[in-house]
Structure 1
């Protein structure tokens, strides 16, 4: 059976789906879907072809959209996506994860919900609300958002999450209780004596190394890190990068030592490509050295950013890479970043990019 590839693109004005052939570089666009709602994350299930999209805002409210026919028809539900009466209302879904037969949703303000019926209804996992540090959590620039969900591939009750601007948390019991996992990550905007707190760091991206569940990579507001013990301690690996600041970090689908980054020029100087020249940076040795890959990317006037969930790999061999920009362009590489082509332009602000491969 031939493989069919779909690039799932979440934007500020709905979902777009690009169907095509990465080797030929031929893509056709469909959308916008989801009635042009603000969509923060779109994911696909390769086993069934089902696509889920999470989004909303303070006017629409939160919802998870779903299509079982690759976008021809959609339904959406917000059943159960609410905190108890009297608490701050849930205004949007920020991240989705499909694993171990369940759908997980990270929301704003930071919390985690689970669906056991393919997105028709959700149950609140309230361990984060009960965490003893909860009253001291502060929002990042985009709000108090739970934006990354990283499950253990073999243990359904174990996972890691990233919350801005609070840090990385870990659970062994499916979300009933959580521990902070931030030792060794800096908080540069704090006084010197408070640079390494238990929580309060602004994690931007969290990725698990292929075949090594306890090796995690983290792009933080204040540096790039790796952990060999599930986040209990973090080691700085930013030397050789053009900036300590960026958003997406994508692990190679098979090589645990390979990671891809899109550094930006800094948090207070524009948050765009350094010197206006676009590059994806790659390490092949766990962050000991870095290589910038620029072929096919604009090297003049590239004053765009790339958001935390707007880069993905297709998992094929060689691994394909894709990213979307704040200026509405979509780029792809079929050779692990060595060369790039522009797939689309003039989209709304791209908030997420994921790949769905079906068949084969």
Structure 2
């Protein structure tokens, strides 16, 4: 297979990990499951340093959570004997789940971030083989007041600033968005303008149930947020947020994706209400904006007219294909969809998998295995 045309997708589910490969991002070959019957809530594909490393946050119901990785497209997997992520003994805390894995920029090779439950951030400098707890966030005075979202208390989004390695945003349920500008030594809440409909104070300093955040491709100080009711943008690194929900059929959901090269181009998948948690009207659609959320257009070609399954925050991704960017997502009904033309049309990759928790895709890097 020609590596220049080879795309690999990692699909983490409630009961195992599947890998899909394609040369045109329309027809896919699926293999798996890997880690059958183990929960895989987070995956990442790291194409830095001239190779393709697949990372998976695996939750073993007996041995506990850890990060495993493969450098040969899933043929073999490596796992640290003592576990890749663990809390230091003095914290008297056990790791519950690895919610999010995020390789940093190409200019920071080896750095991989992990967002975990209980609410915490870990950092690796060896491409995900070992991680260290960020003490600044763990020791934050707000920590005792952070709560659990419907799925648990976790950091689920980590966004390193592409222009400044000392600036990182992290989002948690529940707690909101926090920012560090000193490389993680200290963190401050950055939630001004984000409304909390379930709180007596509709605009608290922190406590927001943010569902996902992502950064703009061209302006590292522009971020987007999908909240538990509310879709937002900040143009000043989180100092103030404005609503960009107008034009969407609902302001609830979990997914927010940004184009890897084109500023202002983003995608979201609205859901109907916080109680129903289904595609609006049962019609599964992606919504795209090319003007930073000032207007939205529906993308539905190739998607079901009747689907009543949630798309979770980490179960959606974009690739960095040099032509048209690919858009990918999976549902809790076990269906996986892929677009090779930035969402204009979707093809079905898989059906009837266990509920999909995490999806990532990337163009293959390195020699064929």
Q: TM-score range by the shorter chain?
A: over 0.9
How far, CA to CA, are the matches of 1:86 and 1:232 in structure 2?
Answer: 31
The equivalent position to 2:156 in structure 1, one of 142, 147, 161, is 147
The alignment status of 1:249 with 2:249, answered yes or no, reads no
What is the aligned-residue RMSD (CA, Å)?
1.6
| Mapping 1:173-184, distance limit 5 Å | 173-184=182-193
Equivalenced residues, count: 355
| Mapping 1:213-292, distance limit 5 Å | 213-268=220-275, 270-292=276-298
Pairwise CA distance, 1:85: 4.5
The alignment status of 1:308 with 2:313, answered yes or no, reads yes
How far, CA to CA, are the matches of 1:21 and 1:347 in structure 2?
Answer: 22
1:62–1:85 Cα change, 3 Å: farther
Q: For 1:250, what is the secondary structure of its paired residue?
A: strand
Q: For 1:75, what is the secondary structure of its paired residue?
A: coil
Pairwise CA distance, 1:234: 0.2
How far, CA to CA, are the matches of 2:35 and 2:123 in structure 1?
Answer: 21
Gaps of 5+ in 2: none
Match of 2:75 in 1: 72
Q: For 2:264, what is the secondary structure of its paired residue?
A: coil
1:75–1:36 Cα change, 3 Å: farther
**Length-normalised TM-score, structure 1:** 0.94
The equivalent position to 2:328 in structure 1, one of 306, 322, 328, is 322
Pairwise CA distance, 1:230: 0.5
Match of 2:34 in 1: 33
Gaps of 5+ in 1: none
Pairwise CA distance, 1:185: 0.4
Match of 1:2 in 2: 4
Pairwise CA distance, 1:122: 1.9
The answer as to whether partners of 1:8 and 1:356 remain within 8 angstroms in 2 is no
The alignment status of 1:347 with 2:356, answered yes or no, reads no
How far, CA to CA, are the matches of 1:231 and 1:86 in structure 2?
Answer: 30
Residue-by-residue CA offset, 1:163-218 (whole Å, 9 max, x unaligned): 01111111122222101111100111112xx0100111011111110111000000
1:86–1:96 Cα change, 3 Å: closer
The alignment status of 1:93 with 2:98, answered yes or no, reads yes
Q: For 1:176, what is the secondary structure of its paired residue?
A: coil
How far, CA to CA, are the matches of 1:258 and 1:142 in structure 2?
Answer: 29
The alignment status of 1:332 with 2:338, answered yes or no, reads yes
**Length-normalised TM-score, structure 2:** 0.92
Q: For 1:2, what is the secondary structure of its paired residue?
A: helix
Q: For 2:177, what is the secondary structure of its paired residue?
A: strand
Pairwise CA distance, 1:88: 3.5
Pairwise CA distance, 1:29: 0.7
Structure 1 stretches of at least 4 aligned residues deviating more than 6 Å after TM superposition: none
The alignment status of 1:110 with 2:119, answered yes or no, reads yes
100-109 vs 228-237, greater mean Cα deviation: 100-109
The alignment status of 1:161 with 2:170, answered yes or no, reads yes
How far, CA to CA, are the matches of 2:61 and 2:205 in structure 1?
Answer: 31
Q: For 1:282, what is the secondary structure of its paired residue?
A: strand
How far, CA to CA, are the matches of 1:308 and 1:333 in structure 2?
Answer: 18
Q: For 2:144, what is the secondary structure of its paired residue?
A: helix
Q: For 2:281, what is the secondary structure of its paired residue?
A: helix
Q: For 1:213, what is the secondary structure of its paired residue?
A: coil
